[in-house]
Structure 1
Amino acid sequence: MSVISSKTLFHFTNSAEKIINILKNGFAPRFCLEQLGYDLFFDTDNKKETAVPMTCFCDLPLSMVDKHLEFYGSYGIGLSKKWGKKHGLTPLNYIHENSTQLNYLKQLVKFITKFDEEIKHLPTEEDPYFALFELAGFYKPYTGQMWRINKYVEKRFYDEREWRYVPLLSTDDGSDYRLSKEEFLNEIKRASANDSLAKNFPLTFQCEDVKYIIVKKESEMIALFDALDLMTENFTENEIKILKTKIVSTEQILQDF
Structure 2
Amino acid sequence: MSRLSSETLFHYVRKKEYLISILKNNFRPRYVIEKFTVESGELIKAALPMLCFCDITLSSIDEHVKWYGRYGIGMKKEWALKKGLTPVHYYNPESHAMKYLSKALLYMRQKLNNGESNPDLISDYYNLWFMKPYIGMQFNRFEKSISPKKYYDERE
TM-score by length of 1: 0.53
CA contact (8 A) 1:11 1:78 kept: yes
Q: From the superposition, tell whether residues 120 and 85 of structure 1 become closer, same or farther in structure 2 (CA, over 3 Å).
A: same
CA contact (8 A) 2:105 2:125 kept: no
Hey, what does 1:4 align to over in structure 2? 4
| Of 84, 87, 104, the match for 2:83 | 87
Spell out the pairing of 1:16-31 with structure 2 (5 A cutoff): 16-31=16-31
Q: From the superposition, tell whether residues 109 and 27 of structure 1 become closer, same or farther in structure 2 (CA, over 3 Å).
A: closer
The amino acid of 2:34's aligned partner reads E
CA contact (8 A) 1:34 1:146 kept: no
User: Is 1:142 aligned to 2:130, yes or no?
Assistant: no
Give the Cα–Cα distance (whole angstroms) in 2 for the partners of residues 159 and 90 of structure 1.
Answer: 16
Flag the structure with larger Rg. Answer: 1
Q: From the superposition, tell whether residues 59 and 107 of structure 1 become closer, same or farther in structure 2 (CA, over 3 Å).
A: same
SS in 1 for 2:42: coil
| Of 114, 124, 135, the match for 1:132 | 124
Deviation by residue 1:8-53 (Cα, 9 ceiling, x = unmatched): 00001111111110001011100112112xx55xx52022222211
Deviation, structure 1 residue 108 = 4.1
Give unpaired runs (5+ residues) of structure 2.
none
Deviation, structure 1 residue 66 = 1.1
Spell out the pairing of 1:9-88 with structure 2 (5 A cutoff): 9-36=9-36, 39=37, 43-88=39-84
CA contact (8 A) 1:11 1:57 kept: yes
TM-align CA RMSD: 2.7
CA contact (8 A) 2:136 2:150 kept: yes
Deviation by residue 1:151-198 (Cα, 9 ceiling, x = unmatched): 533211011101xxxxxxxxxxxxxxxxxxxxxxxxxxxxxxxxxxxx
Hey, what does 1:159 align to over in structure 2? 153
Give unpaired runs (5+ residues) of structure 1.
163-257
Deviation, structure 1 residue 130 = 2.2
Give the Cα–Cα distance (whole angstroms) in 2 for the partners of residues 78 and 152 of structure 1.
Answer: 28
CA contact (8 A) 2:16 2:71 kept: yes
| Of 113, 119, 128, the match for 1:120 | 113
CA contact (8 A) 1:12 1:76 kept: yes
SS in 1 for 2:53: strand
Deviation by residue 1:99-130 (Cα, 9 ceiling, x = unmatched): 232223245457x66xx966526763x25532
Give the Cα–Cα distance (whole angstroms) in 1 for the partners of residues 98 and 152 of structure 2.
Answer: 16
SS in 2 for 1:44: coil
The amino acid of 2:72's aligned partner reads G
TM-score by length of 2: 0.83
Give the Cα–Cα distance (whole angstroms) in 1 for the partners of residues 63 and 115 of structure 2.
Answer: 37
**Larger helix percent:** 1
Give the Cα–Cα distance (whole angstroms) in 2 for the partners of residues 20 and 128 of structure 1.
Answer: 37
**Larger strand percent:** 2
CA contact (8 A) 2:12 2:72 kept: yes
Q: From the superposition, tell whether residues 25 and 58 of structure 1 become closer, same or farther in structure 2 (CA, over 3 Å).
A: same
CA contact (8 A) 1:33 1:147 kept: no
CA contact (8 A) 1:15 1:75 kept: yes
SS in 2 for 1:34: strand
CA contact (8 A) 1:109 1:129 kept: no
